[in-house]
Amino acid sequence: MTTGRPAPPSLAAQRLRAQLLSGAPARTVAGVTGHLLAIQAQDPRGARLAVRARTSGLLATDVDQALTADRSVVISWLNRGTLHLVLAEDYWWLHQLTTPQLATGIARRLAQEGVPPADADRAVGVIGRSLAADGPLTRAELRERITGAGVRTEGQAMVHLLALATLRGLTVRGPMRGGEQAFVLVRDWLGAPPPPMDRERALGLLARRYLAGHAPAGDRDLAKWAGLPLGDARRGLAAIASGLADRDDGLASLAGPGEGPAVPDLRLLGAFDPLLLGWASRELFLAPGGPVITSNGLFRPFVLVRGRGAALWTVTGGTVVTGPLGPLTAPQRAALAAETADVERFLARPRGTRGTQQARGTGETRRARGGRRAQEEPRPRP
């Protein structure tokens, strides 16, 4: 796999540092999630590997714990209508800001799947009543109830019905049930919503938080990442102009120390890693036309060598297997060995664990209603 022309070191180094792929790692799942603001999560292992690459010493089961027992993070359809892992406290304003424009597309897709508006409304009602009585529930459990109400769930209808309930602010993906993430009512899982955030304030907060994990970046980068109009991205950046660094390249970054760690020798990044999704162009880190992104839009795990995608990798029988990499320097070989061992450690289930805590019935979820997460009680995961 060709790596193309080397990226300009300074810009690559700054973005890798902002992404926590060089320098000091985050310490917790909530720490890395909050820093990046939103981690694409339609690939469950990929989202967990994104956390691994930006932390030290955690396990994949720590992500499950954060989703289930801690309730510190949730997964929901947000930016660009795609599933993202976000902090529980960020869910509210991100949902308010990024989802209203998605309703038309969902309605169109449901119509294409043979689900008229009245049936879609009926399905959302079934989801709400079912979760209120018996949640958390898995997709299969909700499908059975929606089908029983006479609503079509074949093809892509079911996923779009679930998305519709989420876009209406009814549900999120909360706790893990065995190896599957279950759906919960937002009010049961996260408690009472805070007062709505003023849109201008939310745009400024979006811009500041985005730059913390992606700078240097431009207005088109922010617009594409958030799935918002370019005008909204520009308004957000204008709102925080007094806190931006002086730059001569037309990009924006938060004011602060300008120097940082060099580009790392080698990193193993998972499917749909945020490094390939944070800007309007991926060519800084990835040569166009390579095998990392498939023709149907899937992003595969890849090896990053000196800031450039250089090969694919996978896990077979618990062992990391990399594609042809070409000659590596001694530091790069050492980094590959360390990264390989760390991925295998991260994905291994600790001995003695059998699944994760599970949430059943309404008792667990409703304790959260009306307030923050109760830290003293066990909770489920997604």
Of the listed ranges 83-97, 209-223, 289-303, the one predicted with least confidence: 289-303
Does the pLDDT of residue 89 top 80, yes or no? yes
What mean pLDDT is predicted for residues 177-205?
95
CB 308 within 8 A of CB 286: yes
Residue 379: what pLDDT? 26
What distance, in Å, lies between the first and last C-alpha atoms of the chain?
36
Please give the mean pLDDT across all residues of the chain.
90
Report which of 277, 205, 215 is spatially closest to residue 250, judged by C-alpha positions. 215
* Cα gap 356→74, rounded to integer Å: 16
- pTM comes to 0.89
Does the pLDDT of residue 258 top 60, yes or no? yes
How confident is residue 179, by pLDDT bands cut at 50, 70 and 90? confident
Q: Which two tokens stand for residue 259?
A: 């120097």
Sheet of 180-185: strand order equals 39-40, 83-87, 73-77, 171-177, 180-185
Instruction: Name the amino acid, one letter, at 78.
Output: L
Write down the residue that tokens 């839009």 correspond to. 297
Which conformational region is residue 251 in: left (phi greater than 0), alpha (psi within -120 to 50 degrees), or beta?
beta
Does the pLDDT of residue 373 top 80, yes or no? no
Does the pLDDT of residue 213 top 60, yes or no? yes
Sheet of 266-269: strand order equals 266-269, 302-305, 308-316, 319-322
Does the pLDDT of residue 255 top 50, yes or no? yes
The residue count for the chain: 382
